[in-house]
Structure 1
Amino acid sequence: MKTFSKSSFFMERRAPSLPSPADIRALNVKTGNASAWNFNSPPPVMIPSLGLVVKYGASVSIVEAETQMMLREQLHGRVPVPEIFGWTEDEGQTFIYMSLAEGDTLSNRWDDLSDDARRAICEELNELVNLVRTLEQDPRDMYIGSLSKRPLNDIFVMHHPDLTGPFLGGDAVEQFQNACGIYIDIDTPVVFTHNDLLPPNIIISPGANPKVAAIIDWAQAGWYPAYWEYCKARWIRVNPRYFSDAAQDDWRNKYLPMILDSVDDETIYHPWLYFVLSKGI
Protein backbone atom coordinates (compact mmCIF):
# COMPACT_ATOMS: atom_id res chain seq x y z
CA MET A 1 0.00 0.00 0.00
CA LYS A 2 1.24 3.48 -0.91
CA THR A 3 0.49 6.00 1.81
CA PHE A 4 1.19 9.71 2.23
CA SER A 5 2.57 10.40 5.66
CA LYS A 6 2.16 14.17 5.27
CA SER A 7 -1.58 13.85 4.61
CA SER A 8 -4.00 14.97 7.31
CA PHE A 9 -5.00 11.36 8.08
CA PHE A 10 -1.54 10.58 9.38
CA MET A 11 -0.59 14.03 10.64
CA GLU A 12 -3.71 14.05 12.83
CA ARG A 13 -3.05 10.44 13.88
CA ARG A 14 -6.60 9.33 13.18
CA ALA A 15 -5.41 5.71 13.11
CA PRO A 16 -2.06 3.93 12.93
CA SER A 17 -2.81 2.79 9.39
CA LEU A 18 -5.44 2.84 6.69
CA PRO A 19 -7.97 -0.02 6.76
CA SER A 20 -6.98 -3.02 4.67
CA PRO A 21 -8.84 -3.94 1.48
CA ALA A 22 -10.33 -6.92 3.32
CA ASP A 23 -11.63 -4.59 6.03
CA ILE A 24 -13.17 -2.27 3.44
CA ARG A 25 -14.90 -5.12 1.61
CA ALA A 26 -16.26 -6.46 4.89
CA LEU A 27 -17.65 -3.05 5.87
CA ASN A 28 -19.38 -2.76 2.51
CA VAL A 29 -20.93 -6.21 2.72
CA LYS A 30 -22.09 -5.46 6.26
CA THR A 31 -24.34 -2.66 4.92
CA GLY A 32 -26.53 -5.29 3.28
CA ASN A 33 -26.38 -3.46 -0.05
CA ALA A 34 -26.33 -6.07 -2.83
CA SER A 35 -24.10 -3.75 -4.88
CA ALA A 36 -21.34 -4.31 -2.33
CA TRP A 37 -20.57 -7.53 -4.19
CA ASN A 38 -20.07 -5.70 -7.50
CA PHE A 39 -16.49 -6.42 -8.52
CA ASN A 40 -16.04 -3.52 -10.94
CA SER A 41 -17.72 -0.66 -9.13
CA PRO A 42 -19.09 -1.31 -5.64
CA PRO A 43 -20.39 1.63 -3.59
CA PRO A 44 -17.67 3.66 -1.86
CA VAL A 45 -17.18 2.92 1.83
CA MET A 46 -17.48 5.89 4.18
CA ILE A 47 -15.97 5.87 7.66
CA PRO A 48 -17.00 9.21 9.24
CA SER A 49 -15.10 8.55 12.48
CA LEU A 50 -11.87 8.60 10.44
CA GLY A 51 -12.94 11.31 7.98
CA LEU A 52 -12.34 8.67 5.33
CA VAL A 53 -14.00 7.44 2.16
CA VAL A 54 -12.62 4.54 0.13
CA LYS A 55 -13.44 4.23 -3.55
CA TYR A 56 -12.56 0.85 -4.96
CA GLY A 57 -13.23 -1.68 -7.69
CA ALA A 58 -11.77 -3.20 -10.83
CA SER A 59 -12.82 -0.13 -12.83
CA VAL A 60 -11.08 2.29 -10.45
CA SER A 61 -7.72 3.67 -11.58
CA ILE A 62 -4.86 5.20 -9.64
CA VAL A 63 -4.89 7.95 -12.29
CA GLU A 64 -7.97 9.35 -10.52
CA ALA A 65 -6.01 9.70 -7.27
CA GLU A 66 -3.04 11.22 -9.08
CA THR A 67 -5.37 13.70 -10.76
CA GLN A 68 -6.78 14.83 -7.43
CA MET A 69 -3.30 15.23 -6.00
CA MET A 70 -2.24 17.29 -9.01
CA LEU A 71 -5.25 19.58 -8.69
CA ARG A 72 -4.70 20.17 -4.97
CA GLU A 73 -1.03 20.91 -5.55
CA GLN A 74 -1.26 23.01 -8.71
CA LEU A 75 -4.28 25.02 -7.57
CA HIS A 76 -3.07 25.35 -3.97
CA GLY A 77 -6.28 24.03 -2.45
CA ARG A 78 -8.47 26.69 -4.08
CA VAL A 79 -10.66 24.01 -5.67
CA PRO A 80 -12.22 21.66 -3.09
CA VAL A 81 -10.98 18.24 -4.17
CA PRO A 82 -10.78 15.32 -1.72
CA GLU A 83 -7.33 14.84 -0.20
CA ILE A 84 -5.62 11.54 -1.06
CA PHE A 85 -4.29 9.50 1.88
CA GLY A 86 -3.11 6.47 -0.06
CA TRP A 87 -3.93 3.72 -2.52
CA THR A 88 -3.36 0.05 -3.09
CA GLU A 89 -4.26 -2.81 -5.41
CA ASP A 90 -5.64 -6.10 -4.14
CA GLU A 91 -7.12 -9.13 -5.92
CA GLY A 92 -7.77 -7.21 -9.14
CA GLN A 93 -9.30 -4.17 -7.48
CA THR A 94 -7.81 -0.72 -6.90
CA PHE A 95 -8.50 1.06 -3.60
CA ILE A 96 -8.24 4.86 -3.25
CA TYR A 97 -8.30 6.26 0.30
CA MET A 98 -9.37 9.90 0.48
CA SER A 99 -10.93 12.53 2.70
CA LEU A 100 -14.66 12.46 3.37
CA ALA A 101 -16.32 15.78 2.57
CA GLU A 102 -18.91 16.94 5.08
CA GLY A 103 -22.26 17.57 3.45
CA ASP A 104 -24.59 16.02 0.91
CA THR A 105 -24.77 15.83 -2.86
CA LEU A 106 -26.33 18.69 -4.77
CA SER A 107 -28.78 16.22 -6.29
CA ASN A 108 -30.03 15.14 -2.84
CA ARG A 109 -30.47 18.73 -1.68
CA TRP A 110 -31.78 20.19 -4.93
CA ASP A 111 -35.52 20.16 -4.22
CA ASP A 112 -35.02 21.87 -0.86
CA LEU A 113 -32.88 24.72 -2.19
CA SER A 114 -34.26 28.12 -3.13
CA ASP A 115 -33.53 29.60 -6.53
CA ASP A 116 -31.13 32.05 -4.86
CA ALA A 117 -29.24 29.20 -3.18
CA ARG A 118 -29.03 27.28 -6.46
CA ARG A 119 -27.74 30.35 -8.27
CA ALA A 120 -25.13 31.00 -5.59
CA ILE A 121 -23.86 27.42 -5.89
CA CYS A 122 -23.73 27.69 -9.68
CA GLU A 123 -21.80 30.95 -9.49
CA GLU A 124 -19.33 29.31 -7.13
CA LEU A 125 -19.01 26.32 -9.46
CA ASN A 126 -18.34 28.68 -12.36
CA GLU A 127 -15.45 30.21 -10.43
CA LEU A 128 -14.08 26.75 -9.61
CA VAL A 129 -14.31 25.56 -13.23
CA ASN A 130 -12.51 28.69 -14.34
CA LEU A 131 -9.77 28.00 -11.78
CA VAL A 132 -9.33 24.47 -13.13
CA ARG A 133 -9.08 25.93 -16.61
CA THR A 134 -6.15 28.09 -15.58
CA LEU A 135 -4.08 24.90 -15.77
CA GLU A 136 -2.05 24.98 -18.96
CA GLN A 137 -0.13 22.52 -21.08
CA ASP A 138 3.30 23.26 -22.44
CA PRO A 139 2.47 24.68 -25.92
CA ARG A 140 5.36 22.58 -27.30
CA ASP A 141 3.88 19.41 -25.82
CA MET A 142 0.14 19.50 -26.39
CA TYR A 143 -2.07 16.43 -26.10
CA ILE A 144 -5.59 15.15 -25.53
CA GLY A 145 -5.66 12.43 -22.90
CA SER A 146 -5.79 11.72 -19.20
CA LEU A 147 -3.15 12.99 -16.79
CA SER A 148 0.46 12.45 -17.88
CA LYS A 149 -0.47 11.46 -21.45
CA ARG A 150 -2.47 8.41 -20.47
CA PRO A 151 -5.46 7.21 -22.53
CA LEU A 152 -8.80 8.91 -22.06
CA ASN A 153 -11.19 7.29 -19.59
CA ASP A 154 -14.34 9.01 -20.86
CA ILE A 155 -17.36 6.68 -20.87
CA PHE A 156 -18.09 7.60 -24.50
CA VAL A 157 -14.68 6.47 -25.80
CA MET A 158 -13.22 4.05 -23.24
CA HIS A 159 -14.57 0.98 -25.06
CA HIS A 160 -13.24 2.20 -28.41
CA PRO A 161 -9.44 1.79 -28.25
CA ASP A 162 -8.98 3.84 -31.42
CA LEU A 163 -10.58 6.84 -29.67
CA THR A 164 -8.82 6.83 -26.29
CA GLY A 165 -5.49 8.20 -27.47
CA PRO A 166 -3.57 9.92 -26.16
CA PHE A 167 -3.48 12.24 -29.17
CA LEU A 168 -0.16 14.07 -29.21
CA GLY A 169 1.10 17.25 -30.81
CA GLY A 170 -0.12 20.62 -31.95
CA ASP A 171 -2.83 19.00 -34.05
CA ALA A 172 -4.18 16.88 -31.17
CA VAL A 173 -7.69 18.33 -31.50
CA GLU A 174 -7.79 17.54 -35.21
CA GLN A 175 -6.51 13.99 -34.61
CA PHE A 176 -9.08 13.38 -31.88
CA GLN A 177 -12.01 14.82 -33.81
CA ASN A 178 -11.09 12.93 -36.97
CA ALA A 179 -10.90 9.68 -35.01
CA CYS A 180 -14.31 10.36 -33.47
CA GLY A 181 -15.90 11.68 -36.64
CA ILE A 182 -16.71 15.00 -34.95
CA TYR A 183 -16.93 17.81 -37.48
CA ILE A 184 -16.26 20.88 -35.37
CA ASP A 185 -13.81 23.72 -35.97
CA ILE A 186 -10.38 22.40 -34.97
CA ASP A 187 -9.39 25.82 -33.67
CA THR A 188 -10.60 24.82 -30.21
CA PRO A 189 -8.61 25.21 -26.98
CA VAL A 190 -7.62 22.13 -24.99
CA VAL A 191 -8.54 22.54 -21.33
CA PHE A 192 -8.40 20.43 -18.22
CA THR A 193 -11.86 18.98 -17.76
CA HIS A 194 -13.66 17.23 -14.88
CA ASN A 195 -15.80 15.48 -17.48
CA ASP A 196 -18.61 14.35 -15.19
CA LEU A 197 -19.77 17.63 -13.69
CA LEU A 198 -23.22 16.61 -12.52
CA PRO A 199 -25.16 17.21 -9.28
CA PRO A 200 -24.34 13.76 -7.77
CA ASN A 201 -20.64 14.66 -7.99
CA ILE A 202 -20.98 18.01 -6.25
CA ILE A 203 -20.99 17.99 -2.43
CA ILE A 204 -22.48 21.00 -0.70
CA SER A 205 -22.15 21.99 2.93
CA PRO A 206 -25.02 21.64 5.44
CA GLY A 207 -27.23 24.57 6.32
CA ALA A 208 -29.45 27.18 4.73
CA ASN A 209 -26.74 28.88 2.66
CA PRO A 210 -24.63 25.99 1.41
CA LYS A 211 -21.26 26.27 -0.27
CA VAL A 212 -19.48 23.82 -2.51
CA ALA A 213 -17.71 21.48 -0.09
CA ALA A 214 -16.15 19.19 -2.71
CA ILE A 215 -16.17 18.21 -6.34
CA ILE A 216 -15.78 14.43 -6.45
CA ASP A 217 -15.34 11.62 -8.98
CA TRP A 218 -12.46 12.74 -11.18
CA ALA A 219 -12.25 9.32 -12.85
CA GLN A 220 -12.93 10.65 -16.35
CA ALA A 221 -10.95 13.86 -16.03
CA GLY A 222 -8.26 14.92 -18.46
CA TRP A 223 -7.34 17.27 -21.28
CA TYR A 224 -10.24 17.65 -23.74
CA PRO A 225 -11.50 20.17 -26.29
CA ALA A 226 -13.11 23.06 -24.42
CA TYR A 227 -16.64 22.25 -25.62
CA TRP A 228 -16.60 18.70 -24.23
CA GLU A 229 -17.50 19.53 -20.61
CA TYR A 230 -20.66 21.46 -21.49
CA CYS A 231 -21.86 19.06 -24.17
CA LYS A 232 -21.47 16.06 -21.94
CA ALA A 233 -23.03 17.69 -18.85
CA ARG A 234 -26.00 18.73 -21.01
CA TRP A 235 -26.50 15.24 -22.48
CA ILE A 236 -25.88 12.84 -19.57
CA ARG A 237 -29.01 11.68 -17.77
CA VAL A 238 -28.69 10.95 -14.07
CA ASN A 239 -30.70 8.01 -12.73
CA PRO A 240 -34.08 9.64 -11.89
CA ARG A 241 -34.15 7.72 -8.59
CA TYR A 242 -31.46 10.16 -7.45
CA PHE A 243 -32.33 13.25 -9.49
CA SER A 244 -35.78 13.54 -11.05
CA ASP A 245 -36.24 14.19 -14.76
CA ALA A 246 -37.95 17.50 -13.96
CA ALA A 247 -34.99 18.56 -11.83
CA GLN A 248 -32.60 17.51 -14.59
CA ASP A 249 -34.45 19.60 -17.17
CA ASP A 250 -34.23 22.58 -14.83
CA TRP A 251 -30.52 21.89 -14.25
CA ARG A 252 -29.68 21.63 -17.95
CA ASN A 253 -31.71 24.52 -19.24
CA LYS A 254 -31.50 27.09 -16.47
CA TYR A 255 -28.52 26.41 -14.24
CA LEU A 256 -25.85 24.61 -16.27
CA PRO A 257 -25.23 27.71 -18.48
CA MET A 258 -24.40 29.61 -15.27
CA ILE A 259 -21.54 27.17 -14.65
CA LEU A 260 -20.20 26.40 -18.12
CA ASP A 261 -20.20 28.48 -21.28
CA SER A 262 -22.92 27.12 -23.52
CA VAL A 263 -22.09 26.26 -27.11
CA ASP A 264 -23.84 26.82 -30.42
CA ASP A 265 -26.24 23.98 -31.17
CA GLU A 266 -25.71 23.85 -34.92
CA THR A 267 -21.92 24.09 -35.08
CA ILE A 268 -20.91 22.31 -31.87
CA TYR A 269 -23.55 20.55 -29.79
CA HIS A 270 -25.34 18.73 -32.62
CA PRO A 271 -22.08 17.49 -34.26
CA TRP A 272 -20.93 16.28 -30.84
CA LEU A 273 -24.27 14.59 -30.20
CA TYR A 274 -24.15 12.93 -33.62
CA PHE A 275 -20.81 11.39 -32.61
CA VAL A 276 -22.30 10.01 -29.38
CA LEU A 277 -25.37 8.57 -31.08
CA SER A 278 -23.52 7.23 -34.12
CA LYS A 279 -21.24 5.19 -31.87
CA GLY A 280 -24.27 3.66 -30.20
CA ILE A 281 -23.31 5.17 -26.88
Structure 2
Amino acid sequence: MIVKFGPSRHVTTTEAVNLWMIKKVFGDDIPVPELFGWRVDSEGYVFIYMELINGPTLQECWNQLDTDEKTTVVDQLSRITENLRKLRQDPSDQFIGSINRQPLLDYVFADQPTTGPFPNVKEFNDWFALCHQLRFEHRYDDPNRCFLPDDGEIKLTHADLNRRNIIIPSTNPVRIFVVDWQQSGWYPDYWEYCKATWTVSYKDEWRKDYIHKYLEPRPDVGEIFAEYTAAMGAF
Protein backbone atom coordinates (compact mmCIF):
# COMPACT_ATOMS: atom_id res chain seq x y z
CA MET A 1 0.00 0.00 0.00
CA ILE A 2 1.04 3.60 -0.58
CA VAL A 3 -0.41 6.76 0.97
CA LYS A 4 -0.66 9.96 -1.02
CA PHE A 5 -1.13 12.90 1.32
CA GLY A 6 -0.86 16.63 1.56
CA PRO A 7 -2.85 19.82 2.14
CA SER A 8 -6.12 19.94 0.25
CA ARG A 9 -4.76 22.51 -2.19
CA HIS A 10 -2.33 19.84 -3.45
CA VAL A 11 -4.07 16.52 -2.73
CA THR A 12 -7.84 16.30 -3.08
CA THR A 13 -10.58 13.86 -2.20
CA THR A 14 -11.69 14.27 -5.81
CA GLU A 15 -8.72 12.17 -6.90
CA ALA A 16 -9.89 9.38 -4.61
CA VAL A 17 -13.42 9.63 -6.00
CA ASN A 18 -12.00 9.52 -9.53
CA LEU A 19 -10.03 6.35 -8.77
CA TRP A 20 -13.07 4.72 -7.19
CA MET A 21 -15.26 5.60 -10.18
CA ILE A 22 -12.75 4.42 -12.79
CA LYS A 23 -12.34 1.06 -11.06
CA LYS A 24 -16.07 0.59 -10.52
CA VAL A 25 -17.13 1.56 -14.05
CA PHE A 26 -14.28 0.17 -16.15
CA GLY A 27 -12.78 -2.61 -14.03
CA ASP A 28 -9.59 -3.98 -15.57
CA ASP A 29 -10.23 -2.21 -18.89
CA ILE A 30 -8.50 0.84 -17.42
CA PRO A 31 -5.68 -0.34 -15.13
CA VAL A 32 -5.43 1.91 -12.07
CA PRO A 33 -4.29 1.34 -8.48
CA GLU A 34 -6.87 -0.22 -6.18
CA LEU A 35 -8.34 2.38 -3.83
CA PHE A 36 -8.55 1.36 -0.16
CA GLY A 37 -9.98 4.57 1.27
CA TRP A 38 -9.37 8.23 2.08
CA ARG A 39 -9.77 10.70 4.90
CA VAL A 40 -9.29 14.36 5.78
CA ASP A 41 -7.71 15.19 9.14
CA SER A 42 -8.47 18.10 11.45
CA GLU A 43 -5.82 20.28 9.79
CA GLY A 44 -7.23 19.79 6.31
CA TYR A 45 -4.67 17.27 5.11
CA VAL A 46 -6.02 14.68 2.68
CA PHE A 47 -4.84 11.06 2.85
CA ILE A 48 -5.51 8.65 -0.02
CA TYR A 49 -4.77 4.96 0.64
CA MET A 50 -4.15 2.96 -2.51
CA GLU A 51 -2.37 -0.01 -4.01
CA LEU A 52 1.35 0.40 -4.63
CA ILE A 53 2.21 -0.34 -8.25
CA ASN A 54 5.86 -1.38 -8.31
CA GLY A 55 7.75 -0.41 -11.42
CA PRO A 56 9.35 2.50 -13.24
CA THR A 57 7.39 5.26 -14.86
CA LEU A 58 7.30 5.38 -18.64
CA GLN A 59 9.42 8.53 -18.39
CA GLU A 60 12.13 6.62 -16.52
CA CYS A 61 12.29 3.58 -18.79
CA TRP A 62 11.34 5.05 -22.18
CA ASN A 63 14.85 4.96 -23.62
CA GLN A 64 15.28 1.32 -22.59
CA LEU A 65 12.19 0.13 -24.48
CA ASP A 66 12.48 -1.19 -28.00
CA THR A 67 10.15 -0.13 -30.82
CA ASP A 68 7.77 -3.08 -30.31
CA GLU A 69 7.48 -2.36 -26.59
CA LYS A 70 6.79 1.31 -27.25
CA THR A 71 4.11 0.33 -29.74
CA THR A 72 2.52 -1.98 -27.16
CA VAL A 73 2.43 0.85 -24.62
CA VAL A 74 0.73 3.15 -27.11
CA ASP A 75 -1.77 0.44 -28.10
CA GLN A 76 -2.75 0.04 -24.45
CA LEU A 77 -3.05 3.80 -24.02
CA SER A 78 -5.25 3.93 -27.10
CA ARG A 79 -7.63 1.36 -25.60
CA ILE A 80 -7.66 3.26 -22.30
CA THR A 81 -8.57 6.59 -23.90
CA GLU A 82 -11.17 4.91 -26.11
CA ASN A 83 -12.79 3.38 -23.03
CA LEU A 84 -12.76 6.69 -21.18
CA ARG A 85 -14.51 8.40 -24.07
CA LYS A 86 -17.22 5.75 -24.28
CA LEU A 87 -18.69 6.95 -20.99
CA ARG A 88 -21.29 9.61 -21.74
CA GLN A 89 -23.15 12.17 -19.69
CA ASP A 90 -26.92 12.44 -19.69
CA PRO A 91 -27.55 14.65 -22.77
CA SER A 92 -30.09 16.66 -20.80
CA ASP A 93 -27.72 17.30 -17.88
CA GLN A 94 -24.25 17.98 -19.27
CA PHE A 95 -21.47 19.94 -17.60
CA ILE A 96 -17.72 20.61 -17.71
CA GLY A 97 -15.97 20.17 -14.37
CA SER A 98 -14.81 17.53 -11.92
CA ILE A 99 -16.78 14.29 -12.09
CA ASN A 100 -18.70 15.09 -8.91
CA ARG A 101 -19.89 18.35 -10.49
CA GLN A 102 -17.30 20.40 -8.64
CA PRO A 103 -14.94 23.18 -9.85
CA LEU A 104 -12.18 22.46 -12.32
CA LEU A 105 -8.97 21.07 -10.82
CA ASP A 106 -6.72 21.24 -13.88
CA TYR A 107 -3.27 22.65 -13.10
CA VAL A 108 -3.69 25.04 -16.02
CA PHE A 109 -6.09 26.97 -13.79
CA ALA A 110 -4.05 26.69 -10.57
CA ASP A 111 -3.44 30.45 -10.38
CA GLN A 112 -6.94 31.41 -11.51
CA PRO A 113 -10.03 31.96 -9.36
CA THR A 114 -11.85 28.72 -8.53
CA THR A 115 -14.46 28.22 -11.19
CA GLY A 116 -16.85 25.76 -12.74
CA PRO A 117 -18.64 23.61 -13.41
CA PHE A 118 -19.78 25.01 -16.76
CA PRO A 119 -23.03 24.01 -18.49
CA ASN A 120 -21.55 23.70 -21.98
CA VAL A 121 -18.39 23.91 -24.10
CA LYS A 122 -18.99 27.50 -25.18
CA GLU A 123 -19.10 28.87 -21.64
CA PHE A 124 -15.97 26.92 -20.75
CA ASN A 125 -14.17 28.25 -23.83
CA ASP A 126 -15.28 31.80 -23.02
CA TRP A 127 -13.73 31.43 -19.56
CA PHE A 128 -10.53 29.81 -20.83
CA ALA A 129 -10.03 32.60 -23.37
CA LEU A 130 -10.62 35.24 -20.70
CA CYS A 131 -8.30 33.87 -18.00
CA HIS A 132 -5.17 35.65 -19.22
CA GLN A 133 -7.01 38.99 -19.07
CA LEU A 134 -8.42 38.68 -15.55
CA ARG A 135 -5.53 40.64 -14.06
CA PHE A 136 -6.10 43.55 -16.45
CA GLU A 137 -8.31 46.51 -15.59
CA HIS A 138 -9.29 46.96 -19.23
CA ARG A 139 -10.09 43.91 -21.35
CA TYR A 140 -10.23 43.49 -25.09
CA ASP A 141 -11.99 41.28 -27.63
CA ASP A 142 -9.67 38.33 -28.06
CA PRO A 143 -8.98 37.57 -31.76
CA ASN A 144 -8.04 33.97 -30.95
CA ARG A 145 -11.28 33.06 -29.19
CA CYS A 146 -12.91 32.01 -32.48
CA PHE A 147 -10.35 29.21 -32.85
CA LEU A 148 -11.65 27.35 -29.79
CA PRO A 149 -14.40 25.04 -31.13
CA ASP A 150 -17.73 25.38 -29.36
CA ASP A 151 -19.37 22.48 -31.19
CA GLY A 152 -17.25 19.67 -29.76
CA GLU A 153 -18.43 17.00 -27.36
CA ILE A 154 -17.78 16.78 -23.63
CA LYS A 155 -15.56 13.80 -22.80
CA LEU A 156 -14.28 12.08 -19.69
CA THR A 157 -10.63 13.13 -19.57
CA HIS A 158 -7.58 12.11 -17.55
CA ALA A 159 -6.07 15.56 -18.23
CA ASP A 160 -2.45 14.64 -17.49
CA LEU A 161 -1.46 11.71 -19.71
CA ASN A 162 2.25 12.29 -19.65
CA ARG A 163 4.88 9.59 -19.23
CA ARG A 164 5.42 10.36 -15.54
CA ASN A 165 1.87 9.17 -14.83
CA ILE A 166 2.21 5.83 -16.59
CA ILE A 167 3.79 2.99 -14.60
CA ILE A 168 5.13 -0.19 -16.19
CA PRO A 169 5.24 -3.00 -13.59
CA SER A 170 6.04 -5.60 -16.25
CA THR A 171 7.74 -5.71 -19.65
CA ASN A 172 7.21 -9.43 -20.26
CA PRO A 173 4.55 -8.86 -21.38
CA VAL A 174 4.35 -5.06 -21.33
CA ARG A 175 1.58 -3.83 -19.05
CA ILE A 176 0.80 -0.28 -17.99
CA PHE A 177 -1.06 1.41 -15.13
CA VAL A 178 -2.29 5.00 -15.26
CA VAL A 179 -1.94 7.04 -12.06
CA ASP A 180 -2.52 10.62 -10.83
CA TRP A 181 -6.21 11.17 -11.60
CA GLN A 182 -6.46 14.42 -9.63
CA GLN A 183 -7.12 16.68 -12.61
CA SER A 184 -9.54 14.28 -14.27
CA GLY A 185 -13.07 15.25 -15.13
CA TRP A 186 -15.38 16.25 -17.95
CA TYR A 187 -13.70 18.52 -20.50
CA PRO A 188 -14.08 19.51 -24.17
CA ASP A 189 -12.97 16.74 -26.51
CA TYR A 190 -9.80 18.64 -27.48
CA TRP A 191 -8.48 18.94 -23.92
CA GLU A 192 -6.78 15.53 -23.57
CA TYR A 193 -4.64 16.03 -26.68
CA CYS A 194 -3.75 19.60 -25.78
CA LYS A 195 -2.70 18.65 -22.26
CA ALA A 196 -0.67 15.65 -23.47
CA THR A 197 1.34 17.79 -25.90
CA TRP A 198 1.64 20.65 -23.39
CA THR A 199 3.70 18.48 -21.03
CA VAL A 200 6.48 17.60 -23.51
CA SER A 201 8.84 19.52 -25.77
CA TYR A 202 8.17 19.95 -29.48
CA LYS A 203 11.21 17.87 -30.45
CA ASP A 204 10.53 14.96 -28.11
CA GLU A 205 9.98 11.58 -29.78
CA TRP A 206 6.91 11.03 -27.58
CA ARG A 207 5.25 14.11 -29.03
CA LYS A 208 6.40 13.71 -32.64
CA ASP A 209 5.80 9.99 -33.12
CA TYR A 210 3.46 8.63 -30.47
CA ILE A 211 0.86 10.97 -28.93
CA HIS A 212 -1.12 11.16 -32.17
CA LYS A 213 -1.38 7.35 -32.16
CA TYR A 214 -3.49 7.20 -28.99
CA LEU A 215 -5.24 10.58 -29.14
CA GLU A 216 -6.99 12.33 -32.01
CA PRO A 217 -4.55 15.02 -33.19
CA ARG A 218 -5.82 18.55 -32.65
CA PRO A 219 -2.79 20.68 -33.62
CA ASP A 220 -4.95 23.66 -34.63
CA VAL A 221 -6.51 23.92 -31.18
CA GLY A 222 -3.22 22.91 -29.59
CA GLU A 223 -1.50 26.05 -30.86
CA ILE A 224 -4.22 28.29 -29.39
CA PHE A 225 -4.15 26.27 -26.15
CA ALA A 226 -0.39 26.84 -25.91
CA GLU A 227 -0.78 30.58 -26.47
CA TYR A 228 -3.46 30.93 -23.82
CA THR A 229 -1.62 28.88 -21.20
CA ALA A 230 1.60 30.84 -21.82
CA ALA A 231 -0.29 34.13 -21.47
CA MET A 232 -1.77 32.86 -18.19
CA GLY A 233 1.68 31.99 -16.89
CA ALA A 234 0.79 28.29 -16.73
CA PHE A 235 3.99 26.46 -17.65
The answer on 1:155 being equivalent to 2:102 is no
When Rg is computed on C-alpha atoms for both structures, the one with the higher figure is 1
Question: What is residue 231 of structure 2 aligned with on the other side?
Answer: 278
> Is the CA contact 1:154–1:195 (under 8 Å) kept in the aligned structure 2?
yes
Measured at CA, do residues 207 and 185 of structure 1 come closer, stay the same or move farther in structure 2, by a change above 3 Å? closer
Helix, strand or coil at the partner of 2:5: strand
Quick one: which amino acid aligns to residue 187 of structure 1?
Answer: D
Distance in structure 2 (CA, Å) of the matches to 1:144 and 1:158: 17
Which residue is 2:31 aligned to?
80
- 1:108-134 deviation digits (Å, cap 9, x = unpaired): 111110011101110111011100111
Unaligned runs of 5+ in 1: 1-51, 238-244
Whole-Å Cα distance in 1 between the matches of residues 100 and 171 of structure 2? 39
Quote the offset at 1:208 in angstroms.
4.4
Instruction: Name the structure 2 match of 1:251.
Output: 206
User: Could you tell me how far 1:104 is from its partner in structure 2?
Assistant: 1.9
Q: Give the total of aligned pairs.
A: 215
Q: Could you tell me which residue of structure 2 aligns to residue 178 of structure 1?
A: 126
Query: Sequence identity, in percent?
Result: 37
Contact 1:129-1:259 within 8 A present in 2 as well: yes
Q: In the alignment, which of 198, 209, 217 is matched to residue 262 of structure 1?
A: 217
In the alignment, structure 2 segments of 5+ residues that lack a partner are 130-144
Corresponding letter in the other structure for 1:278: A
Task: Give the counterpart of 1:223 among 180, 186, 203.
Answer: 186
The aligned counterpart of 2:85 is 133
| Matched residue SS, 1:156 | helix
Whole-Å Cα distance in 2 between the matches of residues 114 and 53 of structure 1? 30
SS at match of 1:223: strand
Deviation at 1:205, TM superposition (A): 2.5
Kept in 2, the 8 Å contact 1:173–1:186? The answer is yes
* C-alpha separation in 2, matches of 1:69 and 1:106: 23
In the alignment, the residues of structure 2 paired with residue 155 and residue 207 of structure 1 have an alpha-carbon distance, to the nearest angstrom, of 31
Q: Which runs of 4+ in 1 moved over 4 A?
A: none
Structure 1 residue 158 displacement after superposition: 3.0
Residues of 2 paired with 1:230 and 1:126: CA distance? Answer: 12
| Secondary structure at 1:153 match in 2 | coil
Q: Tell me the SS of whatever aligns to 2:3.
A: strand
Distance 1:106 1:262 in 2: 21
**TM-superposed deviation, 1:207:** 3.3
- Encode CA deviations 1:92-150: one digit per residue, 9 max, x unaligned: 31000001123221111111100111011101110111001111101010000001110
CA distance 1:123–1:207, shift in 2 (3 Å): closer
Q: Which residue pairs with 2:135 in the alignment?
A: none
Q: 1:203 aligns with which of 156, 162, 167?
A: 167
CA distance in 1, matches of 2:113, 2:94: 20
Give the Cα separation in 2 of the matches to 1:176 and 1:253.
Answer: 29
- What is the CA–CA distance in structure 2 between the aligned matches of 1:148 and 1:205, rounded to whole Å? 30
TM-score normalised to the size of structure 1?
Answer: 0.73
TM-score by length of 2: 0.86
Shift of 1:235: 1.3
Name the counterpart of 2:15: 64
Aligned counterparts of 1:227 and 1:61: Cα–Cα separation in 2: 25
Question: Which whole-Å CA distance do the structure 2 matches of 1:209 and 1:83 have between them?
Answer: 21
* Cα shift at 1:252: 0.7
Q: Is the 8 A contact 1:152 1:158 kept in 2?
A: no
Task: Answer 1 or 2: higher relative contact order, Cα 8 Å, separation at least 6.
Answer: 2
Q: State the partner residue of 1:55.
A: 4
Q: Give the aligned residue type for 1:87.
A: W
Which residue identity does 1:123 align to in structure 2?
D
Give the distance between the partners of 1:86 and 1:231, measured in 2 at CA: 32
The CA distance in 2 between the partners of 1:127 and 1:207, in whole Å, is: 18
